[in-house]
Structure 1
C-alpha cells in the first residue's frame, strides 16, 4: 500500500533524551556550572516553550537557537556567559550523542529488505541530525532526508509535507509518517491527509487519530 515511509528522528529512531542528557551535562561542566537535575528542568521549561512557539510559527528556528541558552543563563544569573556560543557547542555535543531507540536498526533493516523507500522527516538541525545518524550507523538505510532547516518549514506545517510529496513525486496515499510527536508528527500528517503511525514508546496511550499505534518499533512491519 505504501511506497515511502517517513521517519521522525528524535525519540523515534534516535534516543534524543540520552543525547540531550549527555550534551547538557558536558556543557555545564565546560561552562563551570555545577550540574543538578533542577538545572536541566529549568532549561527544559525554556526550551519546550520555544519549540511550541516554533511549531505554531510564532518564532523562527534561528530565534529559538539564539535564545534558549541566553535565557537560561540569564535566569541563573550567569549573564557573563555567551548563550549563542553555548548553543553552538551544545549542538556539537548533541552530534556526538550516538544513541538509538530500542530495535531501531533492526526495524530499518526489515523495512529496507521489504522494498520500502525510507526517508527522514525531522524538525532538527540538519548537520546535527546527519552526524547523529552517521554515528549510530543508520544513515545508509535512507534514500533521502527532509529536515526542516533545509525544507524551509517545520512540522506540523502542511507545507513541510507538501514539500516532501512534491520532491518524491508521490501521492498522499503513497506515504506513511512514523513518529512519537502527537503535534508535530501525528497532527501534522493528518492535517496533510497522510496516514501515520504513533510510536507510543512511553506507553501513555494518549488519545489521537493516528491510523496505527505501536509501542515497539519491531511491530511496524506487522501493522500496515
Structure 2
C-alpha cells in the first residue's frame, strides 16, 4: 500500500526545462550582442562553454564554495575567458538580461503538466530547489504550474542547500509531512537523491539519460509519465 502523501519535486531539469530555456535565451543574447564577431566563434561553441562553466559554478555553489553573487556576476566573464575573449568585453547588462529572460521561458519537461494535474488530485505537491528564490517563482508562474504546489522550499529560505539533509528536514517541518509520507523526485543523483536519502526520505530518481549507478532507490523512472503508474 502506498503511504506517500507529500511529493517533493526538484524544479530545474525535472519539471522546468532548463536546457531549452537557457539555450534559447543564450541564442538571443549571442546574436543581439554580436558575440561571434569578437573572436569568430559560433553559437555552438559559446553554448558548450556556457554549459561547462555554468555546471562548474553550480557545483561550487551547491557545496558552499562560492556565493550567489559570484555565480551571477562572474559567470559570463569566465565564459568569455574560456573562449579566449577579453572578459572586459562582457556587456555590462548581459548577466542581468539573462537572469531576467531565462526564467520567463514557459518550457517544461515532457509530460510535466499531465503528471502534475494527475498527482495534484490526491497528493500534496512541493518544490525543493537550490535555485534562487526570486527566479524560481518566476519560472513556476511563466510555466503556469505554480498553482499545483503547496510549498516552495529554496536553499535561501531554509538556510541549507541540497545535498545537505537539513534542507529536507526543513521541508518536512514546513509542510507538516511525516517522514514515511514523503518522497523526493529529482534528476540529480548527488544533490536530490543522496541528500534526501541522508534525511531518511524515499526517493524517485528521474533518470532520462539512463545514467549508470549503484544507488538503492525506492523507484527509478526515465520519463515523468511513469509517475502515473506509481501514484
Matches of residues 48-127 of structure 1 in structure 2 within 5 Å?
48-75=55-82, 76-82=84-90, 85-113=93-121, 115-127=122-134
Deviation at 1:176, TM superposition (A): 0.6
Deviation at 1:202, TM superposition (A): 2.0
Q: Quote the residue 1:5 is aligned against.
A: 7
Aligned with residue 28 of structure 2, among 21, 26, 29: 26
- Shift >4 Å, 4+ stretches: none
Is structure 2 residue 229 aligned with structure 1 residue 222?
yes
**Quick check: 1:70–1:84 contact (8 Å CA) kept in 2?**
no
**Quick check: 2:30–2:43 contact (8 Å CA) kept in 1?**
no
SS of structure 1 residue aligned to 2:87? coil
Q: How many residues align?
A: 223
Matches of residues 159-170 of structure 1 in structure 2 within 5 Å?
159-170=166-177
> Which runs of no fewer than 5 residues in structure 2 stay unpaired?
37-41
Aligned with residue 40 of structure 1, among 42, 47, 68: 47
Q: Quote the residue 1:142 is aligned against.
A: 149
**Quick check: 1:68–1:83 contact (8 Å CA) kept in 2?**
no
Within 2, Cα distance between the matches of 1:99 and 1:147? 21
> Which runs of no fewer than 5 residues in structure 1 stay unpaired?
none
Write the deviation string for residues 123-147 of structure 1: whole angstroms up to 9, x where unpaired.
1122222222212211111112112
TM-score, reference length from structure 2: 0.89
**Quick check: 1:2–1:173 contact (8 Å CA) kept in 2?**
yes
Deviation at 1:152, TM superposition (A): 2.4
TM-score, reference length from structure 1: 0.91
CA-based RMSD of the aligned residues comes to: 1.8
Within 2, Cα distance between the matches of 1:171 and 1:83? 49
